[in-house]
Amino acid sequence: MIARAAIAALLLACAAATSAVDPVSPNGENAAGMSALDMRLKRLEAELRCLVCQNQTLADSNADLADDLRREVRSLALAGKSDDDIKAYLVARYGDFVLYKPPVKPITWMLWFGPFALLAGGGAVWWVVLRRRARSTTPTATKADTAGEMRARKLLNGEDDVAV
């Protein structure tokens, strides 16, 4: 419980730290000297995958292609395209793979809903097992209990111990 509280506090601190960077100064630049466009691109590039080093985002990658794609994304943004337009532009060329967050469609249903289906399946099995166990153990336990109870009562009453 203490560990959980500590993690929550840490996350809150991180959130506060990142939001502390956000406020934009009067000249349109924040403390790090980034313009609103830079910040928008940074956020967008963090959602896009570099195809050369596949586990890096476009923002993190040093690959030549990532450089070109960042330039392309910037020129599209300057041309007034929305984030969705830019994503669509890249998806048309490189496929859904460029998106770190894959869209929900029939081919990705397994990906999105599979874990929940597994959880539900596991829960169902657990429930069936528990119910079956409860049903099969209760009657025999009662029978054994009554036999034992009768024997104990006889002993308490001072009667001789007879094998049951």
Partner 1 sequence: MKSLRWSLPLAIFVILVAFLWVGLSRDPREVPSPLIGKHAPAFELAKLHAPSETLATADLKGTVWLLNVWASWCVSCRVEHPLLVELAKANIVPVYGLDYKDEPDAGRAWLAQHGDPYTASIVDRDGRVGIDYGVYGVPETFLIDKAGVVRYKQIGPLTPEALKQKILPLVRELQK
Among 28, 35, 60, 97, binds partner 1 (CB under 8 A): 97
Tell me phi and psi for residue 59, to 5 degrees.
-70, -35
Tell me how far apart the alpha carbons of residues 66 and 49 are, in angstroms, rounded to a whole number.
Answer: 9
Distance in Å, CB of 71 to partner 1, minimum: 9
Q: Are 44 and 73 in contact (CB under 8 A)?
A: yes
Binding flag, residue 44, partner 1 (CB under 8 A): no
Tell me phi and psi for residue 50, to 5 degrees.
-80, 130
| Contact window for partner 1 (CB under 8 A) among 21-29, 32-40, 61-69, 152-160 | 61-69
Tell me how far apart the alpha carbons of residues 130 and 133 are, in angstroms, rounded to a whole number.
Answer: 5
Binding flag, residue 131, partner 1 (CB under 8 A): no
Kindly list the residues in this chain that would bind partner 1 in the complex (CB under 8 A): 51-52, 54, 64-65, 68-69, 72, 91-97, 125
